[in-house]
Amino acid sequence: MPLYQYPQITIFLNYLKFERRYSPHTLVSYETDLDQFFQFLIDQYNAPTIDQIGSMLIRTWLAGLKEKKISSKTINRKISALKSFFKYQLKSGKLKQSPMGAIIAPKVSKRLPMYIEQKDMESMFKYMDFSSDWQGRTERLVLLLFYSTGMRLSELIQLKESQLDAVQKQVKVVGKGNKERIIPVPAALIEQLAEYINQKPTKEIGENQLFVTEKGMALQPRSVYTFVKKRLSAVTTIEKKSPHILRHSFATHLMNNGAELNAVKALLGHSSLAATQIYTHTTIEKLKEVFKKAHPKA
């Protein structure tokens, strides 16, 4: 493991974990990408020091990834991890110049995000049979909150009771980089969540997680992913059926119903409009579809 030869990796990961408060999933991605790069340096170049790493070494590693048919999207993620790592070395005074300045990321073909049709989402909550036991109630409310707010899986899992404001009908979400944002919540859902909280079987001491299992334990990402996939499989045939698809559906349905782009950006917690603009393309495709079906000359 390169962590022994390069203690800077551990220091950087601790910075992301404790100061930037990155999610466990994101931390694993950073650690994996950095481990792969520095292991390459150890194997091929006898472990050069941080200040000896130049753009040529990085290009050689990236070229090897391309030869292995690694996707452009994955390579870009690895480039991003290296950029963040070397930027931190600059900030810490370990380097005077980053070797990433001359690195150009490969172009990634933009794919429109998958989403569930609005009528299918409505059918799920109107006709799907959710059991009246604690698990059934939890699954239904989790799905409703995902679709009603567009929050990420990590954000929902970490929600505390105190983040829900029943008076203002809103929820405070802590997103990437520990950034907070406020999202409105429908009044009916607020009432259901308040009732859910009051009827919890037990509460985690000092935690007060919003969603818990029948034993009072916090929900785990894997279990949420599993039941979301199962429920969505009953209403849609799209390939991906993850919690993130509900986020895409939230944003797409807002745009299709006339929501302003900056408002959607704020609700999703995007740092720039570029990430949100993909939903504009989805809206345009929807308009083309309507035109094809409705216009006599289409």
Options 59, 94, 270, 281, the catalytic residue: 270
In Å, how far are 24, 204, 255 from 216, measured between CA atoms?
22, 6, 37
Options 247, 248, 253, 265, the catalytic residue: 247
Could you write out the DSSP letters of every residue in 105-173? PPP----PPP---HHHHHHHHHH----SSHHHHHHHHHHHHHHHH---HHHHHT-BGGGEETTTTEEEE
Options 30, 88, 147, 279, the catalytic residue: 279
Options 140, 152, 231, 253, the catalytic residue: 152
Task: Reduce the DSSP state of residue 212 to 3 states and report it.
Answer: strand
Query: If you ran DSSP here, which 8-state letter would residue 218 be given?
Result: B
Is 270 catalytic? The answer is yes
Is 152 catalytic? The answer is yes
- The DSSP bridge pattern shows strands 170-174 and 164-165 to be antiparallel
Task: Reduce the DSSP state of residue 67 to 3 states and report it.
Answer: helix
Which phi and psi (to 5°) does residue 200 adopt?
-60, 140
Residues in the chain, total: 298
Options 87, 176, 181, 281, the catalytic residue: 176
CA dihedral 237, 238, 243, 244 (to 10 degrees): -170
Query: Which residue carries 């916090």 as its tokens?
Result: 218
* CA-based nearest residue to 36, from 56, 6, 14: 6
* CA-based nearest residue to 118, from 200, 272, 235, 214: 235
Options 17, 87, 181, 244, the catalytic residue: 244
Q: What is the rounded distance in angstroms from the CA atom of residue 24 to the CA atom of residue 34?
A: 15
User: Does residue 204 contact residue 218 with C-beta atoms inside 8 Å?
Assistant: yes
Is 279 catalytic? The answer is yes
The region that residue 242 occupies, defined by phi over 0 for left and psi between -120 and 50 for alpha, beta otherwise, is beta
Query: Which residue carries 């048919």 as its tokens?
Result: 69
Q: Annotated catalytic sites, by residue?
A: 152, 176, 244, 247, 270, 279
